[in-house]
Amino acid sequence: MSKLAVVMTPDRADDVCSPQTRELLNQRFDVRWAGPDLSPEVVAELAAGSDVLLTSWGTPHLEKALWADGNGPKVVAHAAGSVKKLVDPAILDEGVAVFSAGTRIAWSVGEYCLASMLTLARRLPQFDQALRAGGWKQPQLRGGELAGQQVGILGASSTARALITLLKPFGCDIAVYDPYLTTERAQQLGVRVVELDEALRSRFVSIHVPDVPETRGLVTRKLIEQLPDGAIVVNSSRGPAVDQSALLEHCLDGRLFAALDVYDPEPPKFEPDVLAAPNLLLTPHIAGDTVEGHLALAGYVVQDVLKWLDGGVRGPSFVDPAVWAIAA
């Protein structure tokens, strides 16, 4: 029986491991669970002799020394998002298989983006604010619809693909900017490949790019100025991708609407006028944070680990070394 070490605190394990996943782990592995101490010494002890490391948020960086003798764990399964700060890509060259639950979190993010678009399109925060102030009907306000509109998506990441799936019933014209998206793959997704400026001529824009040098400052002040009046911008990916000051200026003058879950820097420090703006939906980096989503994370990667160990099958959570450089 393969040995698996759960390299996360008990509290985190309760957060990402459902009872069904715990049962599966005990059936298929000889399991060791970490305590609250995740010091380098404890991590090294847990890794020693283990075939699989199950990690999550709070797991410290896994040093290359864990594989120095050539007998380190064969698999790292991350019940969380990005693995870039968790492991050194050098271990991929040594044949270590890495899995990430980022593609499961993507669904939660996709739901957030859809909810934000609909909320702002229907002007719900403004109606809510007016009603709380003692008002009723607002003749000057009338919401719009998402159905049939052009939606510009920046980046064809897993979160973007989740949103694309959720947008299907709305019959939207989905225009995707991603230098790595092929025409064939776009056809499979049912979207159009466009240049950046065309994507930003959309009524709705959703940003799904990784934090890499090429995407920092991607949405410039000039591009923000070219957005159509009344456009809705959703950023659930990375704050540095957008000129935040320029976007906020256009929201404060009432021209644009935005839902921001990420910022530059984090946490942000906004002036009272920003905090009071009804055309801004501000959330604290929680787009991927749901009760159901978190409890599913460990099971999501473990299922793929079992397929890998049993037959070498690469499931959706497998981290492909070939795309490491452009991954989130």
The residues annotated as belonging to the active site are 238, 266, 285
Nearest Cα to Cα of residue 287 among 256, 247, 260: 260
Per the CB < 8 A criterion, the answer to whether 177 and 152 are in contact is: yes
d(CA 320, CA 153) in angstroms, rounded, equals: 23
Show the beta-strand stretches assigned E in 104-212.
150-154, 173-177, 192-193, 204-207
- In one-letter notation, the amino acid at residue 87 is V
Query: Per the structure block, which two tokens stand in for 59?
Result: 């797991």
Per the CB < 8 A criterion, the answer to whether 174 and 153 are in contact is: yes
- In one-letter notation, the amino acid at residue 322 is A
d(CA 313, CA 301) in angstroms, rounded, equals: 13
Per the CB < 8 A criterion, the answer to whether 273 and 252 are in contact is: yes
| DSSP one-letter code for 284 | S
d(CA 60, CA 285) in angstroms, rounded, equals: 21
Per the CB < 8 A criterion, the answer to whether 231 and 120 are in contact is: no
Per the CB < 8 A criterion, the answer to whether 317 and 112 are in contact is: no
Nearest Cα to Cα of residue 201 among 181, 182, 173, 179: 173
